Each structure stands twice: as C-alpha cells, then as structure tokens.
A = this chain, B = another copy of it.
Amino acid sequence: MKKLINNPNNVLVDMLDGLTSAYPEYLKKLDGTNVILRADKSKNKVSIISGGGSGHEPAHAGYVGYGMLDGAVCGEVFTSPTPDQIYEAIKATDDGKGTLLVIKNYTGDVMNFEMAREMAEMEGIKVEEVIVNDDVAVEDSLYTAGRRGIAGTVFVHKISGAKAESGSTLEDVKRVADKTVANVRSMGMSLSSCIVPAAGKANFVLGEDEVEIGMGIHGEPGTHREKISSADQIVEHLMNKILDDITINNGEEVAVLINGLGSTPNMELYIINKKVSEILEGKKIRIHRTFIGEFMTSLEMAGFSISILKLDEELKNLLDAKANTPGFKVF
C-alpha cells in the first residue's frame, strides 16, 4: 500500500484537520465530533445535513457552505457515522425551522440517520429525511436493500440546499429533494479497486484488461466484468441502462454529472462527456448544464459514473441558484 498518509488509523481526523485549515471561511469542526459545520450558517432556514462513510471526498464535507449543506457527518472510511454524531449535527444546526437529512441508501447509513432523527424528534426538533437511490445498476447489494445511492446525491444536496437557502419550509424543502431523487439516475464502472487505509489491501482485483460495470462506490459488485472496450462503447452501455429507467421526452431538459471516482484523468472524463452529450443530442434531450470532475469518489478507484437529472422549471432554477462551498460553486 503506497499512500500519502501518516497513521492509517488516523486518516479521518487528519483529513478533517487539513480540510478545516484550508477553508476556515467556509468550515468549522464541531468540537469533540467528526461533524463539519458551516462557519457562517445563514439564519432562520431549514438545515440540511448529510454525510456517511469517508473516502468519497469532496463529498460530503466539501459541500458544506452557502446554498448546499449546513453540516456533514463524517464516518470512518466506508463506515457509517454513529447516531450520536448525526444527532449532534442536527442539534448544532437547527434553528427552529427543522432539518432535512439527505441519506445515501446504505443499510448502515439509513439505520443510523434514522436513529439520530428519533433522538432529535424526542428533543422537539422537526426532522425529515430523503433517501437517495440513484444507482440503476443493481437491486440490493453488499450493504444495501434496494438501489444504492451514489453521485446523484450531489444534485440532492444542491437542490434542497438552494430551496432551504430561499427560506422555504421543511415540507417544501423535502418536496424538492424527493422530486430530485425521483428524477435522477446514475451508473458507474471501474478500472481498478481502491485500498481502505486501515485494511491496507485492495477490496477486489481486476485483471489487466478487465473492467467492472455497475460497481458501487465502496467496490460492491456490479452487474458484470468484461474486457475493456472503447470509452464510447462503455458510455453507450451505461446510458442505455440509465435512459431505460426513466422517461425523458424529446425536448425535455437534463443536467449531466460526469463523476471521476479518484484516479481517472480529467482528459478521460471529457472524452466520456463527448459521447454522453452526443447520445442526449441524438435523442433531442436538451442539456441545461454539465458538471465534470470528482464529486463522489471512492478513494483512488479508477473509473467514473454518469448521473442524469431530469429537470423542470423549479429544479432548473434551484440548480442554477448560487452555491458557494469548497467543492461545488455555482455563480
């Protein structure tokens, strides 16, 4: 294992220290926890809390800031944060308008966020939740009942965050978050595994010319392995799966997110986007906005995912609203 770390058992704390040192104008750590909060939380708004296991940076702490998250609860690598930490995040950010929890669909995350919700509700805090399950690859998986939540989650952060920032009620923020979940689909593929620091070895191994299609962001098995083909062929396969799963008509608009999993050069992500945009144009689906980069990574895994979000006027306006976070900025 060749990694730029100090003690493998200390990566979470070291990373959060490095992150808050870099962005003091955006972020602060809640004392005694692994919760990252906004340094300058807007007042009198619904708070948006997300989080999960670490190893997906810049998710989730990198999305704490104006127009997105108020708090990110950071578990150990690929490990759900504990309910008490999530509860602390809710308590620290609530100012009477309630909290929306944005949860990726993993059994541990759902259980722990829901326990924290109950704890907060017993204190009289209004809490709602939305469970993101955008990955069309497989039903049920290593750590998931139903579909997994992957990079499409970033759209849920953006849109619910913008709605909350506008002063809307918890019910209304939850409504647009639910609509985003209903409208987003994703799928990924990998060329390599990744190495959890504390484990010290790859959690799966692919052959020299082999790729895994539809794997999860913790290396959970996908639909199958195959010999690597061209970028165009791979994109075509993923886009077919995505577009088979949601009806997007001629002339309707979408947002596109091409997400690098950790080791894929930006050059290759741009090449992938060429084919994605050709496929959408071929179907007369209009591309409102495209985001290319690393948004929901799997440590140093090579590979990518595509997320397609079907837009209506409301979602479009919320997607275009100002966001200012370390990892995601919209003017």
Chain A residues near B (Cβ < 8 Å): 2-6, 11, 14-19, 21-23, 54-55, 57-58, 62, 77, 191-192, 194, 208-209, 211, 228, 230-232, 234, 256, 258, 262-275, 277-278, 287, 290-292, 294, 297, 299-300, 302, 304, 324, 326, 329, 331
Using CB atoms, name the residue of chain B closest to A189: B4
Using CB atoms, name the residue of chain B closest to A328: B329
Q: A2-B228, A22-B290 are in contact. Are A263 and B262 (CB under 8 A)?
A: yes
B297 contacts A266, C-beta separation under 8 Å? yes
Which of A57, A268, A294 has the most CB atoms of chain B within a 10 A radius of its CB?
A268
In the bound complex, how far is the Cα of B268 from the Cα of A54, in angstroms?
A: 12
Q: Which residues of B contact A194 (CB under 8 A)?
A: 265
In-complex Cβ contact of A271 among B4, B77, B228, B268 (8 A): B4
Q: Which 6 A-B pairs have the closest CB atoms?
A: A18-B274, A57-B266, A18-B270, A263-B263, A22-B290, A21-B277
Using CB atoms, name the residue of chain B closest to A228: B2
B271 contacts A14, C-beta separation under 8 Å? yes
Distance in Å: Cβ of A59 to nearest Cβ of chain B: 9
Question: Chain A interface secondary structure, helix, strand, loop or mixed?
Answer: mixed
In the bound complex, how far is the Cα of B6 from the Cα of A272, in angstroms?
A: 9
Q: Which residues of B contact A262 (CB under 8 A)?
A: 263, 265
Distance in Å: Cβ of A9 to nearest Cβ of chain B: 13
Distance in Å: Cβ of A295 to nearest Cβ of chain B: 10
Using CB atoms, name the residue of chain B closest to A294: B266
Q: Which residues of B contact A14 (CB under 8 A)?
A: 231, 270-271, 274
Which of A3, A18, A21, A324 has the most CB atoms of chain B within a 10 A radius of its CB?
A18
Distance in Å: Cβ of A133 to nearest Cβ of chain B: 24
Q: Which residues of B contact A16 (CB under 8 A)?
A: 270
A294 contacts B294, C-beta separation under 8 Å? yes
Q: Which residues of B contact A304 (CB under 8 A)?
A: 4
In-complex Cβ contact of A21 among B18, B232, B290, B331 (8 A): B290
Q: Which residues of B contact A15 (CB under 8 A)?
A: 267, 270-271, 274
Using CB atoms, name the residue of chain B closest to A300: B265
In the bound complex, how far is the Cα of B275 from the Cα of A267, in angstroms?
A: 30
In-complex Cβ contact of A273 among B22, B268, B324 (8 A): B22
A21 contacts B299, C-beta separation under 8 Å? no
Using CB atoms, name the residue of chain B closest to A206: B2
Using CB atoms, name the residue of chain B closest to A21: B277
Q: Which residues of B contact A290 (CB under 8 A)?
A: 21-23
In the bound complex, how far is the Cα of B55 from the Cα of A290, in angstroms?
A: 21
Q: Which residues of B contact A2 (CB under 8 A)?
A: 191-192, 208-209, 211, 228, 302
List 15 A-B residue pairs with CB atoms under 8 Å apart, sorted by A's residue number: A2-B191, A2-B228, A14-B270, A18-B271, A21-B277, A21-B287, A22-B290, A57-B265, A57-B267, A58-B266, A263-B300, A264-B300, A266-B294, A267-B299, A292-B326
